[in-house]
């Protein structure tokens, strides 16, 4: 038995796609929040973008950049604390 199919309002679809394009929230999390399958969102991206692979790669790089920035911040703080212990 297949699951029922529901239409997503165009304005909600645009909000979802904008969140994906912003790159701040992963697609699976956005999908869960809005009650749609991640495959649906990826399908929208593929249908609406001329080069979806470039868009998805850009999204991936933004997330990786954010993660690396957080790691650098943590390491900088740890290094600063260790340096103060040895200097003090």
- The arithmetic mean of pLDDT across residues 52-80, rounded, is 89
pLDDT higher than 60, residue 72: yes
- Which pTM value belongs to this model? 0.49
**pLDDT value of position 68:** 97
Q: Which domain, by its residues, includes 46?
A: 10-87
Instruction: Judge whether 70 lies within some domain.
Output: yes
- The arithmetic mean of pLDDT across residues 27-53, rounded, is 82
Instruction: Judge whether 45 lies within some domain.
Output: yes
Helix H, strand E, coil C: the string for the chain is CCCCCCCCCHHHHHHHHHHHHHCCCCHHHHHHHHCCCHHHHHHHHHHHCCCHHHHHHHHHHHHHHHHHHHHHHHHHHHHHHHHHHHHC
Specify the number of domains making up the chain: 1
Instruction: Judge whether 5 lies within some domain.
Output: no
Instruction: Judge whether 46 lies within some domain.
Output: yes
**pLDDT value of position 77:** 96
More confident residue, 58 or 76: 76
Going by pLDDT thresholds of 50, 70 and 90, the confidence category of residue 52 is low
């Amino acid at each position: 038995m297949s699951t029922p199919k529901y239409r997503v309002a165009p304005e909600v679809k645009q909000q979802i796609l904008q969140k994906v394009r912003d790159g701040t929230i992963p697609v699976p999390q956005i999908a869960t929040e809005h009650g749609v399958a991640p495959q649906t969102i990826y399908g929208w991206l593929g249908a609406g973008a001329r080069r979806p692979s470039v868009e998805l790669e850009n999204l991936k790089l933004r997330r990786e950049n954010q993660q690396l920035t957080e790691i650098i911040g943590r390491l900088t703080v740890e290094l600063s604390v260790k340096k103060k212990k040895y200097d003090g």
